Amino acid sequence: MPQYNPPLRDMQFVMHEVLDVVPALRELPPHAEVDADLINQVCEEAGKFCAEVLFPINLSGDSEGCHYDPATHAVTTPKGYKEAWAQYVEAGWPLLTAAPEYGGQGLPHLVGSAVHEMENAANQAWTMYPGLTQGVVELLSAHGSAEQKDLYLPKLASGQWTGTMCLTEPHCGTDLGLIRTKAEPLDGGACKLTGQKIFISSGEHDLAENIIHMVLAKLPGAPEGSKGISLFVVPKFLPASSDGKDQRNGIFCSGIEHKMGIHGNSTCQITLDGATGWLVGEPNKGLAAMFVMMNGARLGVGMQSLGLTEVAYQNALAYAKDRLQMRSLTGPKAPEQPADPIIVHPDVRRMLLTARAWAEGGRFLAYWVALMLDQAHLHPDDDVRKDADDLVALLTPIVKAFISDNGFDATNACMQVFGGHGYIHEWGMEQYVRDARINMIYEGTNTIQALDLIGRKVLMDNGAKLRKFGKLVTDFVEAEGVSDSMQEFVNPLADLGDKVQKLTMELAMKSMQDREEIGAAAVPYLRVVGHLVFAYGFARMAKVAQVKLAQGATDQTFYQAKLQTARFYFARLYPESAGAIRMARSGAKALMQTEAVFA
């Protein structure tokens, strides 16, 4: 049956040996006292909670799902979810990265991301409840009024209350300029909101006392399109009235979606029927404010997929070592058994190594971006903050789309390792495939991420952000290119760096003649840049592994495995970049001059 062991050794390798996070964090005044022992201890304790509390209710929660009562509009979460939430809150986990002024522990975003990976590996559906709440905390911290911060943040940060983001409507998803939800100003500064929202994760449940909805709506006379969107905070229960009782607000769940996966999370249809809400930030500036939460959610989706990739790999590896089928092509490897374990077969190893490589590359990228996010927020040097912020902006769509694309590929491969048993619910593998599939869709589909990367993050600033990343690649290549042992990693990295530069210039020129060229090239372009980022990560990890092996580190097998995984990545996964470059260059004609096909 399914199992999960937090990958603490590899997490520590990425944080301390590759990224060397402690000196970087100590440059940030709020984290000047952070050390490796603290980071490791937090991750170890979080890992225990994930493995012992969250993981045991993952498979059962998927089977049971959430229950909706149309008479009361109430949603009941699966058995064990509420108890797990109580333990989570009691242990103080929601406060991990929250600001101390609101009762939080104020630890780095990096530490929160590492914990988030394990939570998602153990139970993605459950983890969405606190994950979205953290997004509301960050949004109100950035754009809320002093009164809103004092009222909402302590209870959201503690887990006493939870939060949601209410964007999508039945007729519009990504194109939020089409929303119809209206906000009518009332005396006293509040507004009355009316409208419908759909696909609202964690929109109603029985875990917490109150749910704080962040709602996009339009004020009277607002400009058309996205320039007329405002943001409102709309609580399920209004703050206590003069009689001391919380009043039920006019926002309620009018149904839950019956989904392919993440059954333990309530994906709700939300009705606003004269609900009272308060403006957050400036009128008609709501979309820009909501991007704080949206970008955080996109990074969170990357962590969801990373977690699923890791847990799927662990289970597939254990199964492949135990399952006996046929003999090795080179003769029996377990002659005392009636057949060999399937891990002896080349294609089984290909599938396992694919998942492992996607997990290790994704972990490097996700933790690196999390560290830069801390630097972007807190570093005392303006230039360092600006560089970190630019790289986070560039890499956010890659974290979301590349890691989630790879996560679906990995969970599929791991299910395949199980053969027919992988298709059976009790083994847990088909759930990982179903859960992983949503990550390519929500928080902006991966096509939207690709368009964001090439259009807004690369071409809009004439490649300035991309050049900052390119300089990191160039500096690494120049430093390590003289090492014979690093040639197998540095040469393909340098080659792809040159090709990305040429491809970007080519697409920029073509887009001046026909904007459709950008839409046609966006998805393969993201795959190419994603491989450049992963190639950089694997080369860095390989360098550390070589140094440790040369120094005679006691954990020789660990570092040998690092090199072997890096070699597999460059041999079997990196070559996708060549085909993706050809696709990106193939142009829009084969897609857009197809009227007869769709007649």
Active site members: 443
| 47 backbone dihedrals φ, ψ, rounded to 5° | -60, -40
Structure tokens at 424: 């059976």
The one-character DSSP state at 244 is S
Return the HEC string of 347-371. Answer: HHHHHHHHHHHHHHHHHHHHHHHHH
Distance in angstroms (rounded) separating the CA atoms of residues 262 and 438: 8
- For the stretch 247-281, what's the b/e string if a residue is b when 16 or more beta carbons lie within 10 angstroms of its beta carbon? eebbbbbbbbbebebbbbbbbbbbbbeebbbbbbb
Per DSSP, helices labelled H in 444-515 are: 446-451, 464-480, 487-513
Distance in angstroms (rounded) separating the CA atoms of residues 557 and 325: 27
Dihedral (Cα; 116, 122, 123, 126), 10-degree rounding: -50
Pairing mode of beta strands 161-166, 210-217: parallel
The answer to whether the beta carbons of residues 257 and 268 sit under 8 Å apart is: yes
| Nearest C-alpha neighbor of 547 from the set 37, 7, 18, 21 | 18
How far from 533 is each of 83, 127, 256, CA to CA, in Å? 40, 27, 38
Q: Which residues pair with 362 in a beta bridge?
A: none
Q: Which residues pair with 213 in a beta bridge?
A: 164, 234
Q: Which residues pair with 267 in a beta bridge?
A: 201
For the four alpha carbons of 60, 63, 65 and 71, in that order, the dihedral sign comes to negative
Residue 522: strand, helix, or coil: helix
Residues, the chain = 599
Distance in angstroms (rounded) separating the CA atoms of residues 162 and 324: 47
Residue 198: strand, helix, or coil: strand
Helix, strand, coil percent content, the chain, rounded in steps of 5:
65, 10, 25
